[in-house]
């Protein structure tokens, strides 16, 4: 074996590095298509990472910076794909997950709105509120949160 060979990465290590890079890419959340993240104007955050958004939707982050409690608002139907992307759970799993938190004293149940207009109105009226809104909805009285 020539002296240069000991500085070359073995082929198995190279394959592992490629796989790790692909996995890291797969783990990074894709931007939400057709939905925007909106929040009450009092919410201090202007942007969130996908991981921080997931922490909110899985109850791990319960307060905004400053101490205001996070209030998740859901649309009754039609945002399952966005919810799955934000939380990693489908609508049924998400409901069960939050019921488990609420009835063991560890969280507050997300509020529910019937349609996009009432979702936006509820977020505008609720301190600390955050929601996934259809991109085409009129976003009056709320702020949008950039997902990085």
Strand partners, 147: 48
| Residue 99 in contact with another protein, rule: CB under 8 A | yes
Out of 50, 81, 89, 121, name the contact with another protein by CB under 8 A: 89
| Residue 110 in contact with another protein, rule: CB under 8 A | yes
- Cβ partners under 8 Å of residue 97, min gap 6: 58, 59, 87, 89
In the three-class reduction of DSSP (H, G, I as helix; E, B as strand; rest coil), residue 113 is classed as: strand
| Residue 90 in contact with another protein, rule: CB under 8 A | yes
- Strands (DSSP E) contained in the chain are 35-39, 47-48, 71-75, 111-113, 129-134, 143-147
Q: Going residue by residue from 11 to 50, which x/- string records binding to another protein, judged by CB under 8 A?
A: -------------x--x-----------------------
User: Closest distance between another protein and the C-beta of residue 113, in Å?
Assistant: 7
- The side-by-side arrangement of strands in the sheet containing 47-48 is 47-48, 143-147, 35-39, 129-134, 71-75, 111-113
Query: Looking only at residues 67 through 86 of this chain, which bind another protein when binding is defined by CB under 8 A?
Result: 67-69
- Using CB under 8 A, count the residues that bind another protein: 36
Strand partners, 62: none
| Residue 51 in contact with another protein, rule: CB under 8 A | yes
| Residue 115 in contact with another protein, rule: CB under 8 A | no
Task: Return the axis-axis angle of helices 50-57 and 80-87, rounded to nearest 10°.
Answer: 100
| Residue 114 in contact with another protein, rule: CB under 8 A | yes
Which positions touch another protein (CB under 8 A)?
24, 27, 51, 55, 58, 60-63, 66-69, 88-93, 95-96, 99-100, 102-106, 108-114, 122
């Amino acid at each position: 074996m020539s002296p240069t060979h000991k500085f070359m990465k073995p082929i198995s290590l190279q394959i592992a590095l490629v796989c790790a890079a692909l996995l890291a890419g797969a783990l990074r959340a894709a931007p939400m298509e057709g939905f925007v993240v909106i929040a009450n104007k009092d919410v201090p955050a202007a942007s969130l990472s996908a991981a921080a958004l997931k922490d909110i939707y899985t109850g791990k982050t319960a307060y905004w910076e400053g101490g205001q409690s996070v209030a998740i608002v859901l649309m009754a139907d039609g945002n399952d794909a966005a919810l799955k992307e934000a939380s990693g759970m489908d609508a049924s799993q998400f409901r069960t997950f939050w019921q488990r938190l609420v009835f063991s004293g560890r969280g507050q149940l997300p509020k529910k709105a019937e349609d996009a207009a009432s979702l936006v109105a509820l977020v505008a009226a609720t301190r600390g509120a955050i929601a996934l809104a259809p991109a085409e909805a009129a976003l009056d009285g709320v702020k949008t949160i950039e997902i990085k």
